[in-house]
Structure 1
C-alpha cells in the first residue's frame, strides 16, 4: 500500500471512530450508565470530561447509524466496531456497554473500551476492548495519557493503574495523572510513550495496582520496565480487595488522593512480594527454616535487583538482610554472584568489586528514606481539581 493510500485508509478509520463517538455520547444520557456511574462516585462532570458513552444492546444500533453515515461493512470491520456472526450477519462489537474512547498520542480516537451492565449474565466479559487494528495497538497506547498531557506538562505525577475507572478515579485530583494499559500487561512501548510525554526521569512514577496476585505480578513487571526511564519508582499499598475506583466510591476524591500520598518505594513492594512467596509452602512447611529455602529466597530477591538503580540496591540488600536474619555481606554476595546477573555492576553506578560494594553500603547506612519519599519532585503550580 502506498503512503497516500495508507493515509487515506487511516483518515477513513479516524472518521468512523469520530462518528461512532458522537453517537455513543448521545446515547449515554438515556442509558443505565449515568445512574450506575453515579453510584460508583463518578459525577456528571467526570463522565463529560472523559467523554463516556453508551452502546445500545439491540445488536445493530451503532452499525445502522454508521452505515447511514456512508461507511461500509468492510470499513466498520476494519475499525473493529462490527463483527460478522457465523450466519454472515454484521452486528455491533459493543452491545449494552458503557464506553470510553481510547486516544492516541495525537488525541485521535482509535479504539473503545466497553464495560458490561452489572445486570449482564456472569458469562459476559466485564470489559471488552477494540481489537488491534491499523489505528490501535493496545501494547503501545496507555489509556489516559493523551488526556493527561496538560497536567503532565506542569508536573502531575503519573500513576499506573490496572483499568480505565481506576485511571479516571486517580485523575480526580489534578496532582495525579491516572494511566492504564487496559486489556494487556504494561509493556516497554507503554513506558516509552510515557517517557515521551512526561519528565519521568526526574519526577518518577507511582504504581497503584490491585492487592492480589495479578497486581503483584503487575508491580514486578512495572518495576522491571520503569527503571529503564527513571530511578524514582513508588508504590501505593492499596487496601486488600480494593482498587482506586473502589476508594472513590467509598470516600470520594480526597480518599483517593490520601491513598496516593501514602507511598513506599516500589522496590520495597517487589522485594517483599518475592520474599513472601519464597516463605510460602503448602502443608505447614517453612522453607526459610531450611538452608535450601533460604538460598532460594536470597537468589530470588536479589535477582529482581539486577541492573536496578544503585539506591534501590543499597536499600534492598539491607532490607533483605533484616527480613532473612542474614548479614549484609551475605546478601551482597548473593547479589554479586546471582546466576541471573548478566550485566556489569558499573552500568548501575555501583562499585565493581565486592569489597568496594560493601564499603559503599556502610557509607549510605544513614539514609533517611522517609525524607527521600516526602521530597519527591512535585510542581508548585499544581492545584487539586475537584
Structure 2
C-alpha cells in the first residue's frame, strides 16, 4: 500500500512529461507527430519504440511494452508504483510530505525496492559522515588533495565510511531498516556465529548510480597506505539491483552530455571520471576496472554511437585491453582511441596541463581504433615477417567484427597501406576467418549425420482460433471508442453513441476488452467522455498497457505525399464507414460463433420437437450470418 497521498500522485502524473522522462534513458528522434528510438527493453537495430508527446504515452511495437511516464519508470527500473512516483517527484521538484517517510515503509515494498531504499540510506549516511563527523576530515583531505571541488563531491554524492566495525549497520538498524536488506545489498557482512560488521570501513565512498540516478552499489578506496592485507579498492557484491556488467560509473551524470555531444569518453577509474567531469568534459564514464561488457555497450548506445577510449600510457595495458574493444565494433558502434604520455592517466594529465589543453589534446590525438591498432602492431612487427603476419591476422580479426560492409572495406584499404600489403590479401584472410567461424558454429551445434535424413513435410500454419479472431474484432471496437469517442458521424450521432447502441445486445468475450468497454460505458453514464488520461493512468497495469497500445499508431502518413499533391485519406476522414464496418465485423463473427455453439447443442438434443426448434433457430442465425456477410461484401462465408 502506497504511503504517498493521492493528490501528490495526481500532481506527479500531471506534471511528468513523457518525452523528458523517456529521454533520460534513450535518445529520441522525431518522426512525424511522435518520437522514436530503439527500445530500451529489448535489443533491436531498427527503432520500434514510439513516444507520443500529445498523448503522454509510449509503446514498443516490437516487445509490446506500453504505458505512461510512471509505467515507463516501473518498466525500466523494475520497481513498484510508489518508487516510480517518488523518482518522478524528485525529478520535477514535487515534495512528498515528510511524515510519509516511515522507516516501516521498506517492509511493505518488494525485495528490489527495499534494496534501493537501503542503498539510498547508506549513501546519505556516508555523505553525512564525510561532512559532519570528525573522521570525515580524513576523507575530505584526500578528496581535496585529488583536486576535487565541493560541487563535484556533492554532485557525485561522495562520502566516507568511518573506521569502525558497525557504524553503518547500527545506524541503519536503529532507523528501522531490516538486517536482511543490509546483508543482501552487501553493506553488512554476517558471520556464521551471527556477528555482523560493515563491509566498508575507513574508506572514501563512491556511490554507483544506475541510469535513473538511484544508488545501486558502492566503490570504496582505502586511505591506509600501510594496510597490505586490504585491497586498495573494494566494490559492492552483485545483488538484485547491482550487476557490474550492466552499470557504468558516471553514466547518470554523463548521459545528457553524451546525447548533446554525440560522444562518450571511456576511462578506467572513478577519479578519471570525476576529474574530467570537473574539467568540463561531462560525457565521460568508467567501467570501474572491469572488462567492458555487451550490457555496458548497449547502455552507451542509447545515447550515442560514438565511443572514444582514453588509455593510460602503459603499452602493455593497452594491448591487454584491445580485445575488449572488438565487442564495441561487433555491436556496430564507432570507436576511437586516445593515449597519454608514459606514466600519465586521464586524471593526472588533466591536473597537469589544465582543462583547455586537455580538451585540445583529445581533439588532436584521437584516431579510429582500427588505424590505432594497425599502427601499434605494425610498429612492433617492423622487420619481422612472422610478427607482421600475426599482426595482420590480429587486425583483420578486429575488422571482421564490424557488421557494416562499407566500413569494413574502408578499413581494409587503410590497413593495406599501413602494412604495405595488397588489399585483396586482407579480404581473403577475412573470408577465411568468416568461413572458419561458420564451420565452428555448425560443429558446436552437433555432429552432422552420415546421411541426409528425409526432410519432414512442412506443417501448415495453424489458423487463428475463434477466440483470437473475436479478440481482434473486439480490440478494434475498443480502439475506435478510445480514439474517437466524440467524433460526429453522418447521422448526427457520436462514434461512442453509435457503436454502443449498435452493440447493445452483443456481449464481449475477451476479459480485458470487457473491462475496458465497461469503463468506457461508466464514463459515458457519468456524462463525461472517456479520455486517454483515464486509461493510461488507470491503477490496473493491464489496462494501462493495453490502452497505451490502442492509442498509439505504428505508422504515419509521410509528409512527402502532400508535397507531391497526393491525397491519402486518414481514418478520421472515413470514420462513419470505419465505425459501421467494425460493428458489422464483430456482429458477423459473433453470429458465426453462435451457430457453432448451437450446432453442438443440437447433437445433445434427443426430443424431436426440441430438435426442430433448435434447427429452426440455427437456420435463422444462418440467414442473419449471410445478410451480415453480404453487407460486408464477403462472398464466401467461412
Matches within 5 A, 1:226-241: 226-230=329-333, 232-241=334-343
User: Does 1:135 find its partner at 2:241?
Assistant: yes
Do 1:157 and 1:176's aligned partners in 2 also have CA atoms closer than 8 Å?
Answer: no
Equivalent of 1:270 in 355, 367, 373: 373
Question: Is contact 1:306-1:340 (8 Å) kept?
Answer: no
Moved more, 216-225 or 123-132: 216-225
Q: 1:62 aligns with which of 168, 172, 183?
A: 168
SS of residue matched to 1:298: helix
Other structure's SS at 1:211 match: coil
Q: Which runs of 5+ in 1 are unaligned?
A: 280-285, 344-386
**Counterparts in 2 of 1:294 and 1:218: CA distance versus 1, 3 Å:** closer
* Residue 304, structure 1, aligned to residue 407, structure 2: no
Instruction: Report the Cα offset of residue 130 of structure 1.
Output: 0.6
> 2:311 pairs with 184, 209, 212, which one?
209
Where does residue 295 of structure 1 map in the other structure?
389
**Match for residue 250 of structure 1?**
352
1:58-207 matches, within 5 Å, as: 58-85=164-191, 88-117=194-223, 119-155=225-261, 157-196=263-302, 198=303, 200-201=304-305, 204-207=306-309
Q: 8 Å contact 2:165–2:198 — kept in the other structure?
A: yes
Distance 1:125 1:255, change over 3 A: farther
Could you say which residue in structure 1 is the equivalent of 2:141?
Answer: 35
Matched-pair contact (CA < 8 Å) for 1:238–1:259: no
Give 1:341 deviation, angstroms: 6.2
Distance of aligned partners of 1:215 and 1:296 in 2 relative to their CA distance in 1, 3 Å threshold: closer
Which of the residues 307, 327, 344 maps onto 2:422? 327
Secondary structure at 1:337's aligned position in 2?
helix
Q: For the residues of structure 2 that align with 1:122 and 1:276, how far apart are their CA atoms?
A: 39
2:111 alignment partner in structure 1: 9
Cα distance in 1 for partners of 2:419, 2:352 equals 37
Count of residue pairs brought into register by the alignment: 327
The structure with the largest alpha-carbon Rg is 2
Most deviating of 321-330 and 47-56:
321-330
Residues 116-151 of structure 1, C-alpha deviation per residue, up to 9 Å, x if partnerless? 115242332111111100111111111111122332
Aligned counterparts of 2:241 and 2:261: Cα–Cα separation in 1: 29
Partner SS state of residue 189, structure 1: helix
Supply the distance in 1 between the matched residues of 2:359 and 2:108 (Cα, whole angstroms). Answer: 44
CA distance in 2, matches of 1:224, 1:276: 24
Higher helix share: 2
SS in 1 for 2:163: coil
1:259 to 355, 358, 361: 361
1:15-35 Cα offsets, whole Å, 9 max, x none, are 111111111001113332222
Q: 1:338 to 1:149 in 2, by over 3 A?
A: closer
Contiguous gaps of at least 5 residues in structure 2: 1-78, 81-106, 439-638
Q: Is residue 157–residue 175 contact of structure 1 (8 Å, CA) maintained in 2?
A: no
The CA distance in 1 between the partners of 2:274 and 2:400, in whole Å, is: 34
Distance 2:142 2:308 in 1: 29
Query: 1:67 offset after TM fit, Å?
Result: 1.3
2:412 alignment partner in structure 1: 317
Matched with 2:325 is 222
What is the distance in 2 between the residues matched to 1:311 and 1:166? Answer: 35
Q: Distance in 2 between matches of 1:188 and 1:237?
A: 23
- 1:134-186 Cα offsets, whole Å, 9 max, x none, are 11111111111112233234235211111111122222344541111224211
Q: Distance in 2 between matches of 1:60 and 1:276?
A: 55
- Aligned to 2:283, the other structure's residue is in SS state strand
Cα distance in 2 for partners of 1:19, 1:301 equals: 48
Q: Which secondary structure does the structure 2 equivalent of 1:42 belong to? A: coil
- Rounded Cα–Cα distance in structure 1 between residues aligned with 2:359 and 2:436: 38
Q: For 1:211 and 1:7, how far apart are their aligned partners in 2?
A: 48
CA change 1:189–1:340 in 2 (3 A) is farther
